[in-house]
Amino acid sequence: MSDAASTVSMRSISQARSHRAPLSRDVVAAWLLTFPAILAYVLMVLLPLLGVLALAFTDYEFGASSFRWVGFENFADMPKDRTFMASIRNTVIYCLFVVPFSIGIALLLAILIEAGARGRAFFRAVFFLPVVSLTVAMATAWQYLLHPSIGPVNALLRTLGLGAPNWLGSSDWVMVSLGIIGVWENVGFNLVLFLAGLTAIPRELYAAAEVDGAKSAWSRFTLVTWPLLGPTLLFVMIITMTRSIRVFDTVQTLTQGGPNGASEVLLRTIYQEGFHYFKFGYSAAITLVFLAIVLVIMLVQTRLIDRHVHYG
Amino acid sequence: MAGISVTAITKSFGVTDVLKGVSLDVRKGEFVSLVGPSGCGKTTLMRIIAGLETATSGTVMIEGRDVTSIRAAERDVAMVFQNYALYPHLTVAQNLAVPLVMRRLSALQRAPFVGRFVGDAAAKLAAIAEETKRTSEMLGIGHLLARKPAQLSGGQRQRVALGRAIVRHPHVFLMDEPLSNLDAALRVQTRAEIVALHRRVGAATVYVTHDQSEAMTMSDRVAVMMGGEILQIASPEEIYLNPADIRVATFIGSPKMNVFPAEADETGAVSVDGVMIGIVSPTPGPVTFAVRPEDIVPATEGIPARITHMEFLGDCALLHAESIANKSPVICRIAPDQRPRASVGDEIRLRADPAKSFLFDAEGKRLRMMRTKAQAAYV
């Protein structure tokens, strides 16, 4: 309907122009009504994006009186920048840790909660809590939990006779710790999405699977649950991936990228270059790289949706 | 005993008794319909036979084996669901193959990618493909094997669901309102096809429907269910001509059977609205008199009634009236040329054929009635 309407209005606009007739009241009204949205879009999305794009090819620093066009110099500098390379590596490690674990755990929990007779709302609320709570505030709790000497986690490990790693303070463990916190943050959100996806599966399909001889829970899962969760799963993957590429607040509050750059991540590097060293040009270039990565992931996944998961 | 044997099944959900001691035997190769209004427990009974619900008490036997505590996957049953319940991500061929794959291949052989290289999986899969192809051709869906359910029409989906049920030659075939999602024309056509298919497969078949015409036209026997009980189970003719309960009498037949409150005097002679109707009840007191629309006609003598409406249907006409004294609604099905020369609002007399009338007691159970010679002459 909107397509038809827009075709009609486009035609009336072009007719109005080609006949050089005065613009009809409808056309004027249409443009007037659209104007605020256009203005907002241009001012708040398009111009900043173009600004970033332009800045990425300059050596502009905040407060500097002039800048120079440097072409692809900013991008050429990146492979030589150890902090940037470390942040790319850490972001990839973080994603590879958080995405599968938060999706797998959320799916398992969702199936268990869905199968349970009672307490569905309770468990949903409990696991969703990390999503609605402020990460910065919760980070304090994590800092205490993971404290090397007074933290309860290490106290427990010591009583079990296991080693007591310096969770946030050693470069070997810091990404693992951040990953665990990331999983904790994401599980609740994914869980709620999976629960919605599970409720949408018709009960009759499970009855049909049972009659067709699917005896084990595993065979019913592979025959019905997993394929019918396909669309939900893809959505959850995209959401989790973009959320974990954007990791920033836990890193900033708990480790500030430390120790010695061992937990430097992409978004924090952008932040540091831009707002700490005021290298706006370089920061903008990294932002473009970041956007490009997100875009590629989205494209690959939406292609997957079309090819494998789409059935109505 | 072969077939299905259900004994004294009860089912309660909390305090609600859905089934109150239902017993039912379906012989091998027999087609039995469970018919009744919605909420009468017919689908629950079927799901208990399938093993998808557990009965509160009672036993279910299939092919002489007590399966009461055996789960659906291990009973030898096949089922067609109301909404077909096809797997939307599988093609028609894959949908048809599921019951065979699940039963013949081990879990390892069903694993994606590597499964077909385990043991004799490839040979089994080839045999399954052959069988699904044969079944699909039998149902006239051979050309649809590569499609997904979303690309099929309602009738085609219904055939795939039937195919999935018969592909492994089950001993018990259950159908839960399989025609309710089809349009009227297709429904009548599919009825005949299902009956033909049933003859070919020869399985003990239970067919749940709320549509009495489906039950009457397709079944060897019809079980009329109401309020969690089977009121009567008999052949369609018997159900129609000899209902055991007033609820069966009024549920089966269209238009509905006419029902009049009546009174039997101390000799047993029954009167409706004070008019003797020529039949004798075995017991005196209040009774219910019932007669089918085709067995009551306008006459010079009989129950006084006022015409409320007339419908001409081509091969017959329906005369709607209301008895004067008790305001009981009456429908007469008469030949078009027998229509009275009267119009809406006029008073007429209606005479029931005593030989084709029924008497029920206060609980709705059928009373055997007698006809006196004198009254027969009177009527």
Chain B neighbors of A229, CB-CB under 8 A: none
Q: Do B87 and A213 touch (CB under 8 A)?
A: no
Which residues are registered as beta bridge partners of B359?
B289, B367
pLDDT for B374 equals: 45
pLDDT tens digits, one per residue of B255-294: 899 999 998 888 888 888 888 888 888 888 899 999 999 9
The owner of tokens 């306008």 is: B298
The C-alpha R_g of chain B, in whole angstroms, comes to 26
Task: Identify all chain A residues contacting B164, using CB atoms and an 8 Å cutoff.
Answer: 212
- What pLDDT, on the 0 to 100 scale, is given for residue B372? 55
* Contacts with A202 from chain B: Cβ below 8 Å: 83, 85
Closest CB to B72 among A202, A210, A222: A210
Confidence at residue A139, expressed as pLDDT on a 0 to 100 scale: 82
State residue A307's pLDDT score.
63
pLDDT in tens, A271-281: 888 888 888 88
Does B74 reach chain A within 8 Å, measured CB to CB?
Answer: yes
- Answer yes or no: do B98 and A223 touch at CB < 8 A: yes
Query: In the predicted model, what is the mean pLDDT of residues A164-179?
Result: 81
What is the rounded distance in angstroms from the CA atom of residue B47 to the CA atom of residue B54?
Answer: 8
pLDDT confidence tier of residue A40, bands split at 50, 70 and 90: very high
Mean pLDDT of chain B: 88
Whole-angstrom Cα distance, residue B216 to residue A50? 75
HEC states along chain B? Answer: CCCEEEEEEEEEECCEEEEEEEEEEECCCCEEEEECCCCCCHHHHHHHHHCCCCCCEEEEEECCEECCCCCHHHCCEEEECCCCCCCCCCCHHHHHHHHHHHHHCCCCCCCCCCHHHCCCHHHHHHHHHHHHHHHHHHCCCHHHCCCCHHHCCHHHHHHHHHHHHHCCCCCEEEEECCCCCCCHHHHHHHHHHHHHHHHHHCCEEEEEECCHHHHHHHCCEEEEEECCEEEEEECHHHHHHCCCEHHHHHHCCCCCCEEEEEEECCCCEEEECCEEEEEECCCCEEEEEEECHHHEEEECCCEEEEEEEEEECCCCEEEEEEECCCCCEEEEEECHHHCCCCCCCCEEEEEECHHHEEEECCCCEEECCECCHHHHHHC
Q: Which of B71, B78, B83 lies closest to A204 in CB terms?
A: B83
Would you place residue A256 in the very low, low, confident or very high pLDDT band (cuts 50, 70, 90)? confident
Predicted confidence at residue A1, as pLDDT, reads 41
Please say if the pLDDT value at position A3 is more than 60: no
Q: Distance, in angstroms, between B85 CA and closest chain A CA?
A: 5
SS3 A69: strand
Q: What pLDDT is stored for residue B375 in this prediction?
A: 47
Radius of gyration of chain A (CA): 26
Test the B interface: residue of A203, A204, A205, A211 with most B CBs within 10 Å: A211
Contact between chains at A227 and B103 (C-beta distance less than 8 A): no
Residues from chain B that touch A218, judged by Cβ atoms under 8 A, are: 107
A205 vs B contacts (CB less than 8 Å): 85, 87
Cα separations in angstroms, B230 against B31, B157, B219, B356: 16, 32, 16, 24
Phi-psi category of residue A254: left, alpha or beta, with phi > 0 → left and psi -120 to 50 → alpha: alpha
CA distance A300 to chain B (A): 21
**Residue B98 pLDDT level (bands cut at 50, 70, 90):** very high
Whether residues B73 and A213 touch (CB distance < 8 A) is answered with yes
Contact residues on chain A for B52, CB-CB shorter than 8 A: 207, 210-211
Q: Which of B71, B98, B105 would you mutate first to test chain A, the one with the most A CBs within 10 A?
A: B98
Residue B349 CB-density burial (10 A; 0-12 exposed, 13-18 middle, 19+ buried)? middle
In chain B, the percentage of residues whose pLDDT exceeds 70 is 97
Structure confidence at residue A310 (pLDDT): 53
Contact A204 B81 (CB under 8 A): yes
Residue B287's DSSP bridge partners are B262
pLDDT of residue A177: 86
> pTM score > 0.80 for this model?
no
Q: Do A311 and B88 touch (CB under 8 A)?
A: yes
Query: In this complex, which of B71, B79, B89 lies closest to A227 when CB atoms are compared?
Result: B89
Q: Among the ranges A276-280, B4-8, B114-118, which has the highest mean pLDDT value?
A: B4-8
Q: Taking residues B228-252, what's their average pLDDT?
A: 92
Q: How far is CA B145 from the centre of its chain?
A: 32
Distance from CA of A112 to the nearest CA of B (A): 20
Widest pairwise Cα distance in chain A: 88
Write the pLDDT tens digit of every residue in B18-31: 999 999 999 999 99
Q: Looking at residues A96-103, what average pLDDT do you find?
A: 93
Total CB pairs under 8 A between chain A and B:
72
**Cβ contacts (< 8 Å) between A208 and chain B: which residues?**
79, 81, 85-87
Q: Given the DSSP bridges, would you call strands B65-66 and B4-13 parallel, antiparallel or unpaired?
A: unpaired
Q: Which of A207, A216, A227 sits opposite B52 (nearest CB)?
A: A207
A contacts of B90 (beta carbons < 8 Å):
227
Cβ-defined contact of B51 to A311 (cutoff 8 Å): no
Residues 149-178 of B with CB under 8 A from A: 150, 164
Instruction: Give yes or no for a contact between A264 and A273, defined as CB atoms under 8 angstroms apart.
Output: no
Q: Which residues pair with B303 in a beta bridge?
A: B350
Q: Hey, is the C-beta of B181 within 8 angstroms of any chain A C-beta?
A: no
Q: How far apart are CA B54 and CA A216, in angstroms?
A: 18
Query: pLDDT tens for residues A47-63?
Result: 998 988 888 888 888 77
- Measure Cα distances from B148 to A223, A305, B97 in Å: 15, 16, 14
What mean pLDDT comes out for the span A7-36? 70
Other Cβ atoms within 10 Å of A121 Cβ, number: 9
**Total Cβ atoms within 10 A of residue A25:** 8
pLDDT exceeds 80 at position A258: no
pLDDT exceeds cutoff 60 at A17 = no
Q: pLDDT grade, residue A230 (50/70/90)?
A: confident
Residues of B in contact with A311 (CB under 8 A): 88-89, 148, 150
Cα of A104 to nearest chain B Cα, Å: 19
Q: Please check whether residue B89 is in contact with residue A230, taking contact to mean a CB–CB distance below 8 angstroms.
A: yes
Which residues in chain B are closer than 8 Å to A214, comparing Cβ atoms?
Answer: 73, 102
Alpha-carbon distance of B147 to B93, in angstroms, equals 8
- Using a CB-CB cut-off of 8 Å, the residues of chain A touching B71 are 210, 215
Give the model's pLDDT for residue A11.
52
Q: Is the pLDDT of residue A131 over 90?
A: no
Chain B hits for A219, Cβ within 8 Å: 102, 107, 110
B142-165 in b/e form (b: 16+ CB < 10 A) is: eebbebbbeebeebbbbbbbbbbb
Picking from B48, B89, B110 by the largest number of A CB atoms within 10 A of its own CB, the best residue to mutate is B89
pLDDT, residue A102, reads 93
Which pLDDT tens digit goes with each residue over B143-173? 999 999 988 988 899 999 999 998 988 889 9
Phi, psi for B289 (deg, rounded to 5):
-105, 135
- Chain A residues at the B interface, defined by Cβ less than 8 Å, are 202, 204-205, 207-216, 218-219, 222-224, 227-228, 230, 311-312
Q: What is the pLDDT of residue A20?
A: 55
Write down the residue that tokens 């119009």 correspond to. B343
